[in-house]
Amino acid sequence: MKRLPTLSRTALCLALFLICSLSTAWSNVTLTPTSALKSKGITSRHFNMVSISPDNRYICGYTREVKRINNQPIGTTIMYILPIMGNGAIGQVRAYNLEGISRVEQACFTPDSRAVVFTTKAGATFIRLDIASGAMTTIMEHKKGQPGFRSYPEIIINSGREMIAQGYFYDANDFAGRNAIAVLDPYKTGISAFTLANEIQKAQFSVRQQNRVFTEIFPRKDIGFMTIHCDGHCLFYRWNAQKGVKCYDRSKELLGAWGGDSRLFYSTKRPDNTYDLCLFDGRTDIKTIITSGRSTPYTYLFLSADGRTAVFNDRDPRQGLTTIYYARESEGWKIHGIKGLSKHLASGAMRISDDGTKLLLHNSDGIRVIDIIGG
């Protein structure tokens, strides 16, 4: 066997050293610890992480604290925008004092990531917060003698390049219309900001039964999912604006669900007391069983807005610890651990990016920004 010349061996070792250095210097999991968050202005333990922006550059969150002034409870809400740096760390935090807003009910980045829209006053008021300037614009508020739209329940989400809201229109005499999905233009104001997409009340009433627990998720303006819990079992329905309502599954218990695009990702308990993790497509009516027959359930589910990446947890409630897994359509919906992410982490709030490439975990350690890569 020929030996490499000394210079060649030196060059090879140097190349291997550089490769190893690069591979260990880069990480797909970046933790900004609680101490660093405090130095950036987030000191409240009541910080609520809302979402990651569609362009994956910002995190939105808020705090709400109640103080007594002159023996009267006064609510103060501060909204935070946390920029995600190139290395995954949290940059300089922007704080916005939402004067006069005692409670934020629902918040969502606009599809262009330039602003955050939130609701208050039981879904009657919509406000846009501009990230660059901090200016607040009232999109909709209830005014006597004027028609409007009210979010009920208070839900605003991005669906593709549109914002949609669930609720109902009302006329100048405050007579409410049927439950509906509306497309929201965040840069318009008044009733012109809302366009009727589909009425959903008929579909809801066709599924609901008196004195039964009822849940619903509408991830698109033309597709939704409803579940009723009755007599020791659950019935699962999909609503499609073109096809109508269809029952597609039956089980003993629904443990969690999340919608994205035309799909519902859900965890369920079967009559034999085993647990399944499933994905149902309301456009194609195809059900994918990701795993079945487990003795313990996966919980705390998330599905990316494009419906192509699912994240879920194997939690130990006694220890307050969790192990996070993912499954992706491009990988055949096989279950994987996430590279670089320790098992048995402290439980906390999680959010997934619209494109399914990033995951946020906020717990007692701080905020982790995670690139979802198999490990």
Residue extents of the structural domains in the chain: 113-198
Residue the block writes with tokens 């350690």: 365
Strand partners, 257: 266
237 touches 251 (CB < 8 A): no
Q: What is the pLDDT of residues 300-326, one digit of tens each?
A: 999 999 999 999 999 887 777 899 999
Is pLDDT above 60 for 52? yes
Closest CA to 225 of 176, 285, 274: 285
Is pLDDT above 50 for 81? yes
Of all residues in the chain, what percent carry a pLDDT higher than 70? 91
Q: What residues have CB less than 8 Å from 189, skipping those under 6 apart?
A: 137, 138, 139, 140
Is pLDDT above 90 for 67? no
Element (H, E) at 16: helix 6-25
222 touches 238 (CB < 8 A): no
Dihedral angle computed from the Cα positions of residues 8, 12, 15 and 19, in that order, rounded to the nearest 10 degrees? 170
Is pLDDT above 80 for 66? no
Cα–chain-centroid distance for residue 87?
A: 23
Considering the entire predicted model, what is its pTM? 0.88
In this prediction, residue 153 has a pLDDT band, given cuts at 50, 70 and 90, of confident
Q: pLDDT averaged over the chain? A: 89
In this prediction, residue 12 has a pLDDT band, given cuts at 50, 70 and 90, of very low
Find the range with the poorest average confidence among 75-79, 111-115, 281-285, 294-298. Answer: 75-79
Q: What pLDDT shows up at residue 212?
A: 78
Radius of gyration of the chain (CA): 24
Pairwise CA distance, residues 287 & 248, whole Å: 8
Closest CA to 316 of 294, 300, 336: 300
70: left (phi over 0), alpha (psi -120 to 50) or beta: left
